[in-house]
Structures are given as C-alpha cells and as structure tokens.
Chains A and B, each alone.
Chain A
C-alpha cells in the first residue's frame, strides 16, 4: 500500500512556543490530506482538511489561528500548533487518500506541552 510519513513522532515543547508537524506522502501525490486529533480514551477526531494550493477547511470548533495548516506541494502538508498550551497536548495524526475510498495514515505525533 501507499506510504505516508509523519514527523516527528514525539515532541515536547514549552508553553507559548510553536510546533510544526509534517505529513508526507512518499510514493504518491495527495492533493488532499486530513489531520486528526485523539484525546485520551476517545476516537480520532477530524480537525481539518488540507488542500494543496488553497486554504485548509477546518471542522467546527477547531481554531484555524491555533492550528495552521499549509499544503504547499502535492506530497507535503504541515500542521503548526501555534503558541502551544498544555491543553494542546494530544496525539495528532494525518492521512492521505491515494484514491477515492482508501486513506493511508502517518505514524502520528505525540505532542506534550509543558
């Protein structure tokens, strides 16, 4: 199957700093990627749809100024958590479909804000 690589897998940052998470499709082009967040003991929740060459589409309740998404190329989407606070600590994971009906996931990023 297709490969999606996400980096870093773990990051610890100080409160008030920003953190960038990368999601790359290694062997296919992805005009659309998706960013999910998982709270403890909860399901993966869709945060936003990343669109190559245009603005991301955010789900209701997700602050677009807090979670900046850039999809500048067909193989890379980035999620930047700006001015991170402890409540932003979570597991973030991206996915990219290589064709309709099939999504491939990155390995996820565990963010801890101290």
Chain B
C-alpha cells in the first residue's frame, strides 16, 4: 500500500515558486516526511525532511500541516536545473530503515 500520494506531474515557470504537494494521511507519530529528487539518469538527491515543524534549508522549504496528513515542498525560485522527479517519503526513525519510493511528481520547469 502506498504511504504517500503525489500528483503525477506539474509544470512551473522559471523564477516562480514550485509548490509540490504530498498526502500522507496514514502517517504515524514516529514517521518523518522526507523529500528526495532524481534528475534523469542520476541517483536520488536528498532535499529536506521534517517531523512536525516546518523546515527550511538552502534548497527548499517543507511545510507540514498541523495534523501531519499532508505536506508541501516549496522551491522558492525554480530554475531549469530543478526539472526532476520529486519523491515524498514517510519513514520511521532508525538509520537502518529502508526508503520506499513511490512514483513521485515529475516537475518540469520551463522558460
């Protein structure tokens, strides 16, 4: 059973904010929300993760709803190089736990 639901694809104009939604209605209390992206033919790249508070780093911001059933990844100023498949993953704490990638959202950034 999929733990997360994401739109299949999204388009964004270069320079605009890209807001990628993710639903994870069955998330449990000890599960983090992780975001990765994968540019064509490369390994997945870690972006950001959070438990219940909003998080921001040099790449993106993560907004998690108060009930934790959904989240949004925000790329504040998308560039052509941000074109990739974006994966939202929920995962229990513990470094030995595997990541389960769904089908993700194909983000296409255009001029």
B is a partner of A:
no
